[in-house]
């Protein structure tokens, strides 16, 4: 079974630039999550999708972050414009809807904002 | 909002020794999960505990859920270099399977 796919693995940008991350969840997983993990901290949920609808985006900085999952499968997370404090690993995870909410994580995208 | 705290933040262990890491939630949890993240890797699910006082074992790892369902512990016996990594506990909050992760315990093993 293929895992959660993310790209790119690494991204270096300058502040005020834009960046986008892509995630393809495990086939059949209706729920998709985007997390931000700052070095030395635990993952922090940014947004959760159920199919193509947003379940929770209460911790998403909406003035600069946006995410979509138009067809209920893969998803894109965008930052525009980036700030220095956005440097982190962005993790995508997926889980079965209505299951034990065990989450399967992708390898993440390591973002460095200079 | 819900807070999940883990202690210690760092654990330096001599190979072959045992240690325990603790997880405490500010609210009662319906369940608690543990994940392991190897250096440079991503979190990988280890186990889920659901019942009050539940104890589960995975080889040298023993997980326990507190009676009040507000705390949990992970005990590793005879630590090996393969145990290196950060161990996170995570508890669900509100509806929709959202998880709040603790800050993690970073385990370093001295050979």
Q: Cα–Cα distance between A24 and A2 in angstroms, integer? A: 10
- Pairwise pLDDT comparison (B69 vs B92), residue with the higher score: B69
The three-class DSSP label of residue A48 is: strand
| Per-residue pLDDT tens digits for A18-38 | 999 999 999 999 999 999 999
Long-range contacts of A64-70 (CB under 8 A, 24+ apart): A67/A34, A69/A32
Tokens of B81: 């270099």
Inter-residue contact B104 to A43 (CB < 8 Å) = no
Inter-residue contact A109 to A89 (CB < 8 Å) = yes
Which residue do the tokens 């995208």 mark? A109
User: Which DSSP state fits A62?
Assistant: T
Q: How far apart are the first and last CA of chain A?
A: 37
The reply to whether residue A44 touches residue B102, judged by beta carbons under 8 angstroms, is: no
Among candidate residues A112, A103, A114, the one with its CA nearest the CA of residue A38? A112
- Whether pLDDT at A16 is above 90: yes
- Chain A residues whose beta carbon lies within 8 Å of the beta carbon of residue B10: none
- Pairwise pLDDT comparison (B75 vs A55), residue with the higher score: B75
- Chain A residues whose beta carbon lies within 8 Å of the beta carbon of residue B96: 31, 48, 50, 55-56
- Whether pLDDT at A11 is above 70: yes
- Which residue from A42, A56, A105 is facing B96, i.e. has the nearest CB? A56
- Whether pLDDT at B96 is above 70: no
Among A48-52, A85-89, B39-43, name the one with the lowest average pLDDT. Answer: A48-52
| Per-residue pLDDT tens digits for B5-41 | 999 999 999 999 999 999 999 989 989 999 999 999 9
Whole-number average pLDDT of chain A: 94
- Whether pLDDT at A87 is above 70: yes
Non-local CB neighbours of B98 within 8 Å, separated by 6+ positions: A45, A48, A55, A56, B92
From B38's Cα to the closest Cα of chain A, the distance in A is 11
Mutate which of B98, B102, B103 to test chain A, going by most A C-beta atoms within 10 A?
A: B98
């Amino acid at each position: 079974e293929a895992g959660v796919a993310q790209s790119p693995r690494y991204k270096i940008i300058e502040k005020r630039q834009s960046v986008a991350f892509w995630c393809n969840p495990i086939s059949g997983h209706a729920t998709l999550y985007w997390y931000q993990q700052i070095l030395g901290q635990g993952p922090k949920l940014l947004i959760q999708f159920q199919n193509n609808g947003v379940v929770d985006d209460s911790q998403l900085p909406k003035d600069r972050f946006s995410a979509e999952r138009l067809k209920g499968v893969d998803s894109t997370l965008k930052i525009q414009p980036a700030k220095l404090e956005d440097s982190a690993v962005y993790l995508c995870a997926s889980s079965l809807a209505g299951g034990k909410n065990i989450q399967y994580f992708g390898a993440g995208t390591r973002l460095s904002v200079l | 909002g819900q807070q999940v705290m883990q202690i210690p933040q760092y654990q330096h262990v001599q190979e072959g020794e045992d240690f325990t890491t603790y997880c405490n939630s500010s609210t009662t949890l319906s369940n608690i999960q543990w994940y392991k993240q190897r250096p440079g890797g991503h979190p990988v699910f280890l186990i889920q505990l659901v019942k009050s006082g539940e104890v589960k074992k995975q080889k040298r790892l023993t997980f326990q859920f507190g009676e009040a369902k507000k705390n949990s512990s992970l005990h590793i016996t005879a630590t090996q270099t393969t145990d290196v990594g950060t161990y996170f506990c995570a508890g669900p909050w509100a509806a929709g399977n959202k998880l709040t992760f603790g800050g993690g315990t970073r385990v370093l093993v001295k050979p």
